[in-house]
Amino acid sequence: MSRKVLVLGEVRDGSLRNVSFEAIAAAKTVAEGGEVVGVLVGTSVSVLGAELIQNGADRVVVVEDEKLNLYTSDGYAQALLAVIDQEKPEGLVLGHTSLGKDLSPRIAGKLASGLISDATAVEVAGGNVVFTRPIYSGKAFEKKIVTEGLIFATVRPNNIAPLQKDESRTGEVSNLSVEIKDLRAIIKEVVRKASEGVDLSEAKVVISGGRGVKSADGFQPLKELANVLGGAVGASRGACDADYCDYSLQIGQTGKVVTPDLYIACGISGAIQHLAGMSNSKVIVAINKDPEANIFKVADYGIVGDLFEVVPLLTEEFKKLKVHS
Amino acid sequence: MKIYVLMKRTFDTEEKISIRGGKINEDGAEFIINPYDEYAIEEAIQVRDAKGGEVTVISVGSEESEKQLRTALAMGADKAVLINTEDDVENGDQFTTAKILAEYLKDKDADLIIGGNVAIDGGTGQVGPRVAELLNIPYVTTITKLEIDGTNVTVTRDVEGDSEVIETSLPLLVTAQQGLNEPRYPSLPGIMKAKKKPLEELELDDLDLEEDDVEAKTKTIEIYLPPKKEAGRVLAGDLNDQVKELVHLLHSEAKVI
């Protein structure tokens, strides 16, 4: 059964986020041969339409309005609902990002639709579109289907492979005019703390520090390693509580959930609180002085040693590798 | 002010998870107030203490949730409401819970509704915004600061580590993020007082809801545990060699670099 599926292309600092390309790949599975329609909401975003199409969307609908400059649930809900009203899709996929988490339940509520949040895989099985999602902080998984409304899901960044980008793909980019009214919550100020460098939740490599980094300066070698690998720096709750870094870096039960290809835990003991945020990473490396540390139980590779010795050596070794390859 | 808190009883995350009969085995497990809902309860109490009014904590669940509701009362909430769905709802989802909560709240003239931004068991974060949508009031999720001046509200919202300062107004629903406050522990006098505070128990009938009205819109077809990870390799030898070996393994064996 083929379906028309909408995908919201999420724009951050003028660029599309990777998770939107992953959402397109998920939408292709949901569509079962039907049309995948990208949706762009904001100001001057139509230029990004071609990129959505190169990444697998068949065409793109754009809603532009000054009031959509910054994300608000009121503004975006009006825009997206207007596109849904025009396109009458059978499916809808968003990234499970701050925006997706905030907006999707509202759309589902409005349409009295089911919604599967934070999916890490999607397949068609036994005539159903089946989503897989972690529960109990990734200690278990469930497979779920929508039984009423749109086949509607948000997808966790870094889990569903995007389609191969094809620069020869073309398609229609059309505008839909929507009157945006009644924003009941207005953004007065945006304070940037986390967005320097690579986005933690989408990073392919995460270098994370715990109490073992000992101070704010202790994060410096981790940052250097992250730079060499094009990764992001994260932290355990212990490091945040000790004021070595901002809570925006916290990975864990409280904090962010990350699933990078490579997670390097430096001076992190591996409390359950922390494991909940990173245990589904593809490859985990632990560096810790304590050979009994819990983190070694989930690590694929471990080095027992002082992170201040090991991390700079690793940085040098990766630099050599980058030069050779 | 009429303040309502949406609270969920959850599995303690420190618990080991096992599966029996296709479901998560709850035998002998510790249950707690969902940690994000503790921030919500604390914030509600602080707002009431500053502005006056009453805090009512609501939970949709089974009789067993009474324990967590009593804890909320012991922290300082004034009233508790348990909407017991044990006999009526077998497989509810976020739509089910939101619909029931909204039905209860629709004629309560709530000024402020606070919930956790996500429950640590199901992990969807859907219920708060769904309730706000059903009640047709604004909402702000993952907040770390709340200031109320008359009906004007200024909130700080955590957006993947960045923050946004948002101006909005009552009535309002917000969901709590870590950092909003430091939830108090119930005091001994608080625990004694909680025993006498009102805890109302309702069923779907009392809300004029039929089972069909709250039927889930999603269905879980399988629950499983992730495959056990094999013990990793702890490298040995001279530190320089270990580092070289690790880089080689990540490049050639794991192929992540």
A148 CB neighbours in chain B (<8 A) are 215, 217
Answer whether A187 sits within 8 Å of B166, measured CB to CB. yes
- Please name the residue ranges forming H helices in chain B: 35-51, 66-75, 94-105, 127-135, 188-194, 239-248
Answer whether A253 sits within 8 Å of B13, measured CB to CB. yes
Comparing CB atoms, the residue among A190, A298, A317 nearest residue B164 is A190
Answer whether A112 sits within 8 Å of B95, measured CB to CB. yes
Q: How far is B84 from B97, CA to CA, in rounded Å?
A: 11
Is B15 a residue whose pLDDT tops 80? no
Residue B28 pLDDT level (bands cut at 50, 70, 90):
confident
Q: Which residues 43-82 on chain B approach chain A with CB closer than 8 angstroms?
A: none
**DSSP letter for each residue of B192-242:** HHHTTS-EEEE-GGGGT--GGGG--SEEEEEEEPPPPPPP-EEP-S-HHHH
Minimum Cα–Cα distance from B132: chain A residue: A106
Q: Which residues pair with A103 in a beta bridge?
A: none
Q: Which amino acid is at A46?
A: S
Residue B229 pLDDT level (bands cut at 50, 70, 90):
confident
pLDDT of residue B172: 98
pLDDT of residue B17: 87
The token duo for B60 is 């949709």
A225 CB neighbours in chain B (<8 A) are none
Mean pLDDT of A2-17: 96
To test the contact with chain A by mutation, choose from B25, B120, B124 the residue with the greatest count of A C-beta atoms within 10 A, namely B124
Q: Which residues 90-129 on chain A approach chain B with CB closer than 8 angstroms?
A: 97-98, 101-102, 104-106, 108-110, 112-118, 128
Q: Which residues 104-163 on chain B approach chain A with CB closer than 8 angstroms?
A: 118, 120-130, 132-134, 138-142, 154, 158-163
Minimum Cα–Cα distance from A295: chain B residue: B232
To test the contact with chain B by mutation, choose from A254, A272, A275 the residue with the greatest count of B C-beta atoms within 10 A, namely A254
**Any B CB within 8 A of A315 CB:** no
**Any A CB within 8 A of B20 CB:** no
- pLDDT tens per residue, range A258-291: 999 999 999 999 998 899 899 999 999 999 999 9
pLDDT of residue A137: 84
**Any A CB within 8 A of B188 CB:** no
Comparing CB atoms, the residue among A140, A145, A318 nearest residue B224 is A140
Quote the minimal CA–CA distance from A267 to chain B in Å.
Answer: 15
Q: Which amino acid is at B26?
A: E
Q: How far is A22 from A40, CA to CA, in rounded Å?
A: 15
Give the range among A57-71, A243-257, A309-323, B156-170 with minimum mean pLDDT. Answer: A243-257
Is A325 a residue whose pLDDT tops 80? no
Between the alpha carbon of residue B165 and those of residues A100, A228, A291, B158, the distances in Å are 19, 34, 44, 9
pLDDT of residue A138: 86
Minimum Cα–Cα distance from B242: chain A residue: A303
Is B123 a residue whose pLDDT tops 90? yes
Write the DSSP symbol of residue B93: -
Answer whether B221 sits within 8 Å of A144, measured CB to CB. yes
B231 CB neighbours in chain A (<8 A) are 297
For residues A126, A131, A134, A136, the Cα torsion angle rounded to the nearest 10 degrees is -70
**Any B CB within 8 A of A81 CB:** no
Judged on CB neighbours under 10 Å (0-12, 13-18, 19+), A163 is: middle
- pLDDT tens per residue, range B78-113: 999 999 999 999 999 999 999 999 999 999 999 999
Residue A323 pLDDT level (bands cut at 50, 70, 90):
confident
Mean pLDDT of chain A: 95
Comparing CB atoms, the residue among A117, A136, A139 nearest residue B126 is A117
Comparing CB atoms, the residue among B121, B229, B232 nearest residue A136 is B121
**Any A CB within 8 A of B190 CB:** no
Answer whether B254 sits within 8 Å of A185, measured CB to CB. no
The token duo for B144 is 């770390």
- Cβ contacts below 8 Å, chain A against chain B, sum to 261
Mean pLDDT of A189-205: 81
Residues A234, A252 contacting (CB under 8 angstroms):
no
Q: Which amino acid is at A123?
A: E
The token duo for B48 is 């009431």
Instruction: Give φ, ψ of A101 to 5 degrees.
Output: -65, -35
Mean pLDDT of chain B: 95
Is A196 a residue whose pLDDT tops 70? no
Is B148 a residue whose pLDDT tops 80? yes
Q: Reduce the DSSP state of residue B64 to 3 states and report it.
A: helix
pLDDT of residue A277: 92
Is A195 a residue whose pLDDT tops 60? no
Write the DSSP symbol of residue A178: -
Is A194 a residue whose pLDDT tops 80? no
**Any A CB within 8 A of B35 CB:** yes
Q: How far is A215 from A295, CA to CA, in rounded Å?
A: 20
Nearest to A145 by CA among A171, A173, A126: A126
Q: What percent of chain A has pLDDT over 90?
A: 89
**Any A CB within 8 A of B178 CB:** yes
The sheet carrying B218-224 orders its strands as A121-125, A128-135, A140-146, B218-224
Q: How far is A222 from A105, CA to CA, in rounded Å?
A: 37
- pLDDT tens per residue, range A101-141: 999 999 999 999 999 999 999 999 999 999 999 999 888 99
B53: left (phi over 0), alpha (psi -120 to 50) or beta: left
Residues A277, A210 contacting (CB under 8 angstroms):
no
Minimum Cα–Cα distance from A149: chain B residue: B217
Residues B108, B54 contacting (CB under 8 angstroms):
no
Residues A16, A52 contacting (CB under 8 angstroms):
yes
Minimum Cα–Cα distance from A256: chain B residue: B160
Task: Quickly count: other Cβ atoms within 10 Å of residue B88's Cβ.
Answer: 17
Comparing CB atoms, the residue among B19, B126, B142 nearest residue A105 is B126
Residue A47 pLDDT level (bands cut at 50, 70, 90):
very high
**Any B CB within 8 A of A280 CB:** yes
pLDDT of residue A97: 96
Quote the minimal CA–CA distance from B95 to chain A in Å.
Answer: 7
Comparing CB atoms, the residue among B19, B120, B231 nearest residue A137 is B120
